[in-house]
Amino acid sequence: MFSLIPREVRFFDLFEQQSQHMIQGAALLHELVHNFSDARAKAHAIKEVEHQGDQVTHEIVKRLNTTFITPIDREDIHDLATRLDDVLDYIEAAAERLVVYRIKEPTSACRAMAEVIVRIVAATDRTIRCLRTMDPGFHEHAVEVNRLENSADNLLRDSLAAMFEASSDPIEVIKWKEIYETMEIVTDRCEDVANVIEGIILKMA
């Protein structure tokens, strides 16, 4: 009987829509750190994208509570929605810290981290687009997400080591340590997204 009831596939549209918000947020963060004029306005633009992402998350939860047959397990839908929301939250948090901490100019390490974020968000988007068809090609995109997350880990470690060695201002060290760590968390959350999708695809195979 259940096979005759259509499944609500709008969830895939919403996941892909959220992924576009992630791409937009990452691009705006990249622009912010490479051109720091009007930083407050640029951070506000990222906040607006994060707010749009919140609305998508609410829509996913609303549909989850009103849909009889879902295309994948309910707990997986909720988990993936939460992980995607986390990516946007940390992109917005990184931008906010750059403004709140009154950073005069982003460092080369900050810009390098933003480059990694743009690339890992793009790779994460490719994993999300595999979900609708349970595309086995997902694996190569997941490997790339993992590689970029490792790259961000290394960049964080090297940046902190260089800063502790070179800086004589403890306040600046504290500021940049938190900014770098927040940016690195973006890549951790992207890896979480890929891991959730991998679990879904393995379960559905």
Using one digit for the tens of pLDDT, what is the confidence trace for 11-33?
999 999 999 999 999 999 999 99
Per-residue model confidence (pLDDT) at position 167: 73
Report how far apart, in Å, the C-alpha atoms of 104 and of each of 85, 172, 175 are.
Answer: 29, 11, 12
Q: How many residues does the chain have?
A: 205
Question: Is 178 inside any structural domain?
Answer: yes
Q: Report which of residues 166 and 153 the model is more confident about.
A: 153
Question: Is 129 inside any structural domain?
Answer: yes
Structural domain total, the chain: 1
Domain of residue 76 covers: 7-204
Question: Is 1 inside any structural domain?
Answer: no
CATH code (residue 17): 1.20.58.220
Query: Which is nearest to 92 in space by CA: 111, 112, 117?
Result: 117
Question: Is 128 inside any structural domain?
Answer: yes
- Confirm if 86 and 69 have CB atoms less than 8 A apart: no
Q: How confident is the model at residue 141 (pLDDT cuts 50, 70, 90)?
A: very high
Per-residue model confidence (pLDDT) at position 204: 83
Q: Phi then psi for 134, rounded to 5 degrees?
A: 55, 45
